[in-house]
């Protein structure tokens, strides 16, 4: 964990590059939605107001930072270059060492990036709505949900990383993975806006647990009963994906062919 | 000049051989960019299922602008992808020395070294989208407009290249500038939609400072309306030449400031 914190500090410029890139994206989307609201002629677009939408965009961005996992690249690279064998011969659990490392980095992000952004969002919401909407209970539940979301994200990324046993174009895989997750997790467009059957299906898929659920909890869009139910769905997926990554690992390791020495 | 073409041909041929060797990798790359684009279109589609028009544009017109914006982007991606590597690790690892010891222009060598076929995904989607909606939008088609429209594509692509050269060259001073390329390049998101939806600050930013609006919206609006060829097409060419000159200047300054790094 400490190593993760140190890595993030050393590569803070890269992190800021991505954080600012994410913010630019949020602003593009903000203007796009503003135009959508302007063109629809009403303040309410499928249950979302413009304030809701702005909140959603930025929260979704924050959540994706917190649940970010680069284990896909890390494992992929190690498989590609064969250095994975060095990990295999060490008496430390491979996934756990990655996990601990990343949680350190993401914890740092929480302090240096998430907190300021949350404060910014709440100030915006205060001026837009006229009263303090921040709810400490929702925030606490959001944090629980984010941790579950991170665990799922970590395992999903790990599974994609194992694909390196079969394909060597990791960059392409990464684009593929990101566009699939962005769409299915509701980061690109809230699941609430999708056609009914699609929304219902996606709400039960692991992807919505990775971004949509925590954001909706923060925004208070779920009732207490629904919140508990959604957290349970997340927990169940966390367990299933965990098992899946173990099975893939056992299958894939038999195929391990190391190129070069 | 002929020598450059000859070297370029040899290097591209090397790349194509590699693709044939690793077919699965090529497919993954092309398919992933294709899906990335499909998701972008699905997004526009879902929005338009709720509203008939967006800031005065129909669904087809928005798709046309989106489709066009992918072509210069794809062209630049196809030809100059290696510039990312300069920013991210070539300079940092000290590998840049290789280019300096060869008897050809280092910038040309960096660019010629990679021929990124993943970009086929973007190019195909861009062309298919434009052709698909061309029947349902009233295009302003005259021989001159078509010629201008095609001629403007390389200039629009050069805006992308210039941004990458300039941001990548910063690595000569600070060793690793990948994150700067990422940040500036990320602004191309603004090119996909009409600039009229942005606030005036953003509009000025993407028109005159980091002129990505000229890689998508302005050229396509010319073919959609036939208005303002001087600004929409001429502006693209002018901006492209200006940013490229600045980028080359930064690159040459950087080269003279370059000190080898690494072991």
Q: Is residue B262 part of a domain?
A: no
Average pLDDT over residues A162-178: 75
Q: Which residues contact B230 (CB under 8 A, 6 or more apart)?
A: none
Q: What is the rounded CA–CA span in Å between residue A164 and residue B26? A: 14
Give the pLDDT score at B158: 92
What are A183-222's pLDDT values in tens digits? 888 888 888 888 888 888 888 888 888 888 888 888 888 8
Q: Is residue B186 part of a domain?
A: yes
Give the pLDDT score at A2: 67
For residue B189, what are the β-bridge partners? none
Q: What is the rounded CA–CA span in Å between residue B257 and residue B177? A: 15
Q: Is residue B263 part of a domain?
A: no
Report for A70-84, A144-158, B134-148: range of highest mean pLDDT: A144-158
Q: What is the rounded CA–CA span in Å between residue A174 and residue A72? A: 8
Q: Does B153 or A75 have the greater pLDDT score?
A: B153
Tokens describing residue B70: 């992918």
A170 HSE (CA, 13 A, CB side): 19
Smallest Cα–Cα separation from A155: which of A254, A90, A255, A246?
Answer: A246
**ipTM greater than 0.90:** no
Please name the residue ranges forming H helices in chain A.
Answer: 2-10, 12-40, 50-66, 71-81, 84-88, 94-109, 115-129, 136-162, 170-184, 196-203, 206-210, 212-218, 224-253
Chain A nearest-CA residue for B36: A179
Across the interface, of A172, A176, A188, the residue whose CB is closest to B43 is A188
Between A9-18, A207-216, B115-124, B178-187, the lowest mean confidence (pLDDT) is in: A9-18
Smallest Cα–Cα separation from B233: which of B246, B247, B220, B249?
Answer: B220
Give the pLDDT score at B107: 83
For residue B54, what are the β-bridge partners? B57
Average pLDDT over residues A51-79: 82
For residue A179, name the pLDDT band (cuts at 50, 70, 90).
confident
| Alpha carbon A239 to chain centroid, angstroms | 17
Q: What angle do CA B84, B114, B124 make, to 5 degrees?
A: 90
Across the interface, of A25, A35, A168, the residue whose CB is closest to B189 is A25
Give the pLDDT score at A256: 63
Chain length of chain B: 263
Q: Share the mean pLDDT of chain B.
A: 83
Please name the residue ranges forming H helices in A41-133.
Answer: 50-66, 71-81, 84-88, 94-109, 115-129
Cβ–Cβ under 8 Å, residues A191 and A203: yes
Cβ–Cβ contact A42 with B under 8 A: no
Q: Does B37 or B244 have the greater pLDDT score?
A: B244
CA distance A27 to chain B (A): 9
**Number of CB atoms found within 10 A of residue B86's CB:** 31
Share of chain B above pLDDT 70, in %: 97
Q: What is the rounded CA–CA span in Å between residue B67 and residue B64? A: 5
Between A6-10, A85-89, B236-240, the lowest mean confidence (pLDDT) is in: A6-10
Instruction: List, as ranges, residues 111-140 from A with C-beta within 8 Å of B.
Output: none
Give the pLDDT score at A248: 83
DSSP label at residue B194: -
CB pairs under 8 A between A and B: 110
Average pLDDT over residues B242-262: 85
Across the interface, of B176, B180, B197, the residue whose CB is closest to A31 is B197
CA distance A161 to chain B (A): 14
Q: Which residues contact B64 (CB under 8 A, 6 or more apart)?
A: B129, B130, B133, B134, B137, B220, B223, B224
Q: Which residues contact A259 (CB under 8 A, 6 or more apart)?
A: A80, A81, A82
The residues spanned by each domain of chain A are 2-253
Tokens describing residue B73: 């982007």
Give the pLDDT score at A12: 64
What are B192-227's pLDDT values in tens digits? 888 888 888 888 888 888 888 889 889 888 888 878
The three-state secondary structure class of B105 is: coil
Residue with tokens 């954001």: A215
Q: CB distance A39–B51 less than 8 Å?
A: yes
For residue B263, name the pLDDT band (cuts at 50, 70, 90).
very low
What are A241-254's pLDDT values in tens digits? 889 888 888 777 77
Q: CB distance A169–B24 less than 8 Å?
A: yes
Average pLDDT over residues A62-90: 77
For residue A177, name the pLDDT band (cuts at 50, 70, 90).
confident
Give the pLDDT score at A217: 87
The count of structural domains within chain B is 1
| Position A114 pLDDT exceeds 50 | yes
| Position B238 pLDDT exceeds 90 | yes
Tokens describing residue B18: 């590699």
DSSP label at residue A111: I
What are A2-42's pLDDT values in tens digits? 666 666 665 666 677 777 777 888 888 888 888 888 777 77
Cβ–Cβ contact A20 with B under 8 A: yes
Average pLDDT over residues A115-128: 83
* Domain around B250: 2-257
Task: State which H helix or E strand residue B114 sits in.
Answer: none
Give A132: exposed, middle or buried? Use CB within 10 Å, 0-12, 13-18, 19+: exposed
Cβ–Cβ contact A34 with B under 8 A: yes
For residue B242, name the pLDDT band (cuts at 50, 70, 90).
very high
Cβ–Cβ under 8 Å, residues A154 and A102: yes
For residue A174, name the pLDDT band (cuts at 50, 70, 90).
confident
What are B45-95's pLDDT values in tens digits? 888 877 778 878 888 888 899 999 999 999 998 888 888 888 787 887 777
Q: CB distance B46–A193 less than 8 Å?
A: yes
**Number of CB atoms found within 10 A of residue B60's CB:** 18
Q: Does A211 or A255 have the greater pLDDT score?
A: A211
Tokens describing residue A200: 């219902």
Chain B nearest-CA residue for A24: B187
Task: State which H helix or E strand residue B145 sits in.
Answer: helix B143-169
Give the pLDDT score at A7: 66
Q: Is residue B60 part of a domain?
A: yes
Q: CB distance A183–B42 less than 8 Å?
A: yes
For residue A48, what are the β-bridge partners? A45
Give the pLDDT score at A261: 43
Q: CB distance A32–B193 less than 8 Å?
A: yes
């Amino acid at each position: 964990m400490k190593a993760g914190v140190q890595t993030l500090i050393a590569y803070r410029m890269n992190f800021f590059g991505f954080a600012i890139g994410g913010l630019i994206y949020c602003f593009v989307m903000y203007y796009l939605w503003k135009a959508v609201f302007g063109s629809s002629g009403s303040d309410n677009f499928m249950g979302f107001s413009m304030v809701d939408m702005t909140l959603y965009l930025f929260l979704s961005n924050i959540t994706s930072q917190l649940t970010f996992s680069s284990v896909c690249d890390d494992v992929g690279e190690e498989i590609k270059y064969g250095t994975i064998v060095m990990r295999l011969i060490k008496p430390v659990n491979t996934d756990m060492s990655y996990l601990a490392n990343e949680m350190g980095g993401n914890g740092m992000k929480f302090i240096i990036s998430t907190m300021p952004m949350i404060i910014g969002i709440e100030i915006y919401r205060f001026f837009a709505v006229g009263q303090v909407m921040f709810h400490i209970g929702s925030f606490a539940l959001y944090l629980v949900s984010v941790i579950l979301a991170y665990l799922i994200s970590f395992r999903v990324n790990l599974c994609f990383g194992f694909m390196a046993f079969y394909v060597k174009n990791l960059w392409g895989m990464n684009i593929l993975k990101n566009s699939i997750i962005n769409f299915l997790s509701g980061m690109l467009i809230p699941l609430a806006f999708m056609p009914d059957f699609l929304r219902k299906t996606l709400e039960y898929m692991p992807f919505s647990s990775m971004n949509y659920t925590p954001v909706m909890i923060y925004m208070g869009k779920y009732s207490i009963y629904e919140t508990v139910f959604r957290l349970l769905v997340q927990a169940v997926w966390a367990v299933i994906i965990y098992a899946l990554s173990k099975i893939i690992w056992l299958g894939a390791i038999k195929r391990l062919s190391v190129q070069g020495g | 000049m002929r020598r450059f073409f000859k070297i370029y041909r040899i290097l591209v041929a090397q790349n194509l051989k590699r693709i044939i060797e690793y077919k699965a990798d090529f497919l993954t790359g092309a398919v992933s960019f294709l899906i990335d684009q499909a998701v972008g279109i699905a997004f526009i589609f879902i929005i338009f299922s709720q509203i008939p028009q967006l800031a005065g544009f129909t669904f087809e017109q928005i798709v046309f602008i989106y489709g066009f914006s992918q072509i210069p982007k794809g062209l630049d991606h196809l030809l100059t992808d290696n510039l990312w590597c300069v920013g991210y690790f070539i300079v940092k690892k000290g590998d840049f020395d290789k280019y300096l010891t060869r008897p050809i222009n280092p910038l040309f060598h960096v660019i010629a070294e990679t021929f990124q076929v993943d970009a086929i995904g973007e190019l195909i989607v861009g062309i298919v989208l434009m052709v698909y909606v061309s029947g349902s939008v009233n295009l302003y088609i005259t021989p001159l407009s078509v010629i201008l429209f095609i001629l403007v594509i390389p200039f629009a692509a050069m805006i992308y290249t210039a941004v990458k050269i300039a941001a990548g060259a910063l690595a000569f001073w600070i060793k690793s500038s990948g994150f700067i390329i990422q940040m500036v390049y990320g602004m191309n998101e603004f090119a996909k939609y009409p600039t009229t939806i942005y606030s005036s600050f953003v509009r000025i930013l993407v028109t005159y400072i980091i002129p990505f609006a000229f890689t998508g919206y302005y050229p396509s609006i010319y073919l959609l309306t036939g208005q303002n060829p001087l600004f929409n097409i001429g502006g693209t060419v002018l901006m492209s030449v200006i940013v490229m000159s600045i980028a080359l200047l930064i690159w040459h300054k950087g080269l003279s400031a370059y000190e080898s790094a690494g072991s």
